[in-house]
Each structure stands twice: as structure tokens, then as C-alpha cells.
Amino acid sequence: MDSDVTAPPADGPDIRLDRVVKRFGETVAVDGLTVDIERGAFYALLGPSGCGKTTTLRMIGGFEDPTEGTVFLGGRNVTDLPPYKRDVNTVFQSYALFPHLDVQHNVAFGLERRKVGKNDVKKRVAEVLEMTQLTGYEKRKPAQMSGGQQQRVALARALVNRPKALLLDEPLGALDLRLRKQLQIELKRIQKEVGITFVHVTHDQEEAMTMADRIAVMNEGHIEQAGSATELYETPATEFVASFLGDCNLIDGDLRSRDGVVADFRTHDGAHLRVPSERIDPALNGSPVRVGVRPEKLTLLPADVPAPDGANVLRGRIEIASFLGTAIQYVVHTAGGEEFTAIEQNRLGGGVHSLGPGRDVLLAWDPAHSILVAKGGTHAGA
């Protein structure tokens, strides 16, 4: 390992993982992961099952030792510290509430271990129970509470310690959709109120996008891309990110010229598409690429209508047109053999205007909405 491991400055990021690797025997769960998480951020780790989210979180919490790499909390190297010496708390996926203790004692557990005075414990527990809307449940045992209530106890039990950061491993995973939506909003509110860093693990992109300020998309043990929801959605760096966050239509081809403001991209079947040069990551140099466009950015035009000036255009035929209420979704078979999805807002009503299956159409979009990504799910920088 290199020796240039630098601790972040004291006013720098709250959590830093530096080239962290975790192996379980043959399995590489986390593969050279580097991330900086800013103080006070609501940071989501998003990725498919088995990509190493939980393992990453457990290394921050101290439950797993990294095979390689360094973990910093608040500027301090904590790689070798046990969990009870780290100023972070975890909300476990299964809640892990103590079944033999009532709500009051579950929540007070951390404060009692840190020898906080009796009166202070009482006060802080009451405060946090109010914040999590659990006042009145002090004497209940976990088994006597609903899933949503237990989830809030787990949150209260962690928050009451006022840790530097709160680690949440799919905290809403076990709840039904309605309750999940409600608690998403509550969690966000609580995070704003207490102002501490939240690291939230989820495999639900919608959840990550509604709640987090920043999202790191993980795949096979590393971070593909980190950024705001808008950045990830509008300018994904990799094919994996493009297709993991929302739908994305992708087409193979080669970059022809990359001079000037727009680059010329020739698709595998000879069509020319324009891509803003600024979208081209220098790291892509020479590697095979794909151009993508989001379904809602596409306009469908009858084939005999001239294409708008300066637009990217592909020819195709409508396979399916589904009426979704607020929108109409088309599946279009392009001349090059791809299946593109297009979504048009239902502005004119009732499908009167809509194009039916079998119609030849033009798929047009503003070149500014083109996405350029490296082919395959690999990390752009690797």
C-alpha cells in the first residue's frame, strides 16, 4: 500500500474511506472504495443487492475490519478502533432492539454506558422520543410495537447519543410502501432538525433520490459515481449509473470527432448523433462508448414530418403505445434494432392525438440531452 494516506483536515469531511478493500475469503465485498462524506450531509449509498453497501457501512461502524485501506471519522484514523470507541451510531436493518428492555431503557442504553447523569438521561430520552413521536410508549417492550414504531425506537436509540454520524442500513426495508413514504419524509425532517451526517444504505433509487443530498452509486464493491440526484440522472458517468437510476435508451457507436462544442457520434447503423463535447469524460479516451437518452426527453414525430433543425433523430416504428394517465409510453423499434422507450406527457388528452402501433416515426431529441457513457458497467476511471 502507498504511504500517502492523508487524514482529512479537522473541518473537512466527516467520514473518509481511503482505498478500502474488504475480502471474505475469496469474495471481494468492497474493492478499493474511496469516498468523502461531508459534515451534515444526507448521503445515500445506492446499489444492487450484494454490491457491498452493508459491508461498507459496517466498516464505518467498526463491525468489520477493512482488509486494506483507512477509515477516518471527523479527521481521525479509526481503522483499528472497536465500535464502542467510535462516535457513530447505527440503525440496523432488523432494528436489533433489546427485547428485554422497554423503550425507555432501549433508548437510554447508550447514554447510560457513557455515564451521563440520571436527570440528563431522562431529559434527553424524553426529547428524542418526542422528536420521533414516541411519547407515551416509554414502558412498552419492542415486541408490543408495530414495525414502524420499532423503526422509530431504533432511530431514537441512535439519535439520543448525538453521534457525529448516523449509519442507516436499509432502515425502511421491512415496511410497507405507505409507511415507508411517510417515514422517508420524517427521517429527512429529523436529519434537518439535528443536523448530523446521515449515511443511508438503500437499493431503492427512488428512496435515495427523495431523501439524499448526495448519492453514491455502488457496483461490485466500488463507487461508480457520486453526486446529487440531478447530476447522476442528467449526466451519468457510466452505463451502469445511467441504467440503474431510471430508464435510459442506449445505442452503440463510435465517437468520430471531438472538436468544437459538439462531438459527432456515428451509431452502429450509420446514423449521426450530436453530443455536447463537455459531456465527454477525458477518461473515456478510446474506450467503446454508448450514447443514451432518457425516455421523457424524446419527441415522437410522424415519419413524413421534417425533423426539427439541429435535433438528434433516429428512425423507428412504434411497437406498443400504452396509456398511463398522465403520460403515454411508447416502445419504439429503431432502424438499428434497439428498443427505445419514449414518454410523452398527456397534454392533449384522451389519446386522440396519440400515435398507434405500427406507425413509422422519428425519435427526436435535443443534443444537449444526450448522455455519453463507457460501454459496460465498468468504472470510468479504472
Ligand X SMILES: Nc1ncnc2c1ncn2[C@@H]1O[C@H](COP(=O)(O)OP(=O)(O)OP(=O)(O)O)[C@@H](O)[C@H]1O
Footprint of ligand X on 348-377 (CB under 6 A)? none
Of 81 and 307, the one with the shorter C-beta distance to other proteins is: 81
User: Is residue 162 close enough to count as binding other proteins by CB under 8 A?
Assistant: no
User: Is residue 109 close enough to count as binding other proteins by CB under 8 A?
Assistant: yes
Candidates 140, 141, 266, 315: give the one binding other proteins (CB under 8 A): 141
Candidates 16, 203, 279, 379: give the one binding ligand X (CB under 6 A): 203
Spatial distance between the Cα atoms of 262 and 368, rounded to a whole number of angstroms = 9
Candidates 13, 15, 31, 55: give the one binding ligand X (CB under 6 A): 55
Q: Taking the chain, what is the end-to-end CA distance rounded to the nearest angstrom?
A: 18
Shortest Å distance, C-beta 55 to ligand X: 3
Candidates 41, 51, 71, 153: give the one binding ligand X (CB under 6 A): 51
User: Is residue 26 close enough to count as binding ligand X by CB under 6 A?
Assistant: no
Of 31 and 344, the one with the shorter C-beta distance to ligand X is: 31
User: Is residue 251 close enough to count as binding ligand X by CB under 6 A?
Assistant: no
C-alpha cell at 78: 479509526
Footprint of other proteins on 71-90 (CB under 8 A)? 82-84, 89-90
Cβ(205)–Cβ(184) under 8 Å? no
Stretch that binds other proteins, among 106-114, 119-127, 129-137, 252-260 (CB under 8 A): 106-114
C-alpha cell at 357: 402501433
- Residue 109 binds which of other proteins, ligand X, Mg ion, none (CB < 5-8 A, kind-dependent): other proteins
Reference 281, options 371, 215, 348, 199; nearest CA is 371
DSSP-assigned letters across all residues of 44-75: EEE--TTSSHHHHHHHHHTSS--SEEEEEETT
Of 47 and 142, the one with the shorter C-beta distance to ligand X is: 47
Shortest Å distance, C-beta 349 to ligand X: 42
Spatial distance between the Cα atoms of 107 and 67, rounded to a whole number of angstroms = 33
260 to 57, 150, 255, 289: CA distances (angstroms): 43, 58, 13, 19
In the chain, the amino acid numbered 50 is: G
Cβ(174)–Cβ(183) under 8 Å? no
E-state strands within the chain: 15-24, 27-37, 42-46, 68-73, 76-77, 88-91, 165-169, 197-202, 214-219, 222-227, 249-257, 262-267, 272-276, 289-293, 299-302, 312-323, 327-334, 339-345, 360-365, 371-374
β-bridge partners, 341:
331
User: Is residue 61 close enough to count as binding other proteins by CB under 8 A?
Assistant: yes
C-alpha cell at 90: 447505527
Of 24 and 323, the one with the shorter C-beta distance to ligand X is: 24
User: Is residue 52 close enough to count as binding ligand X by CB under 6 A?
Assistant: yes
Footprint of Mg ion on 34-63 (CB under 5 A)? 54
Of 55 and 79, the one with the shorter C-beta distance to Mg ion is: 55
Of 54 and 90, the one with the shorter C-beta distance to Mg ion is: 54
Q: Which stretches of the chain bind other proteins, using CB under 8 A?
A: 61-63, 82-84, 89-90, 92, 94, 96-100, 109-110, 113-114, 141, 143, 157-158, 161
Q: Which stretches of the chain bind ligand X, using CB under 6 A?
A: 24, 27, 29, 47, 49-55, 203
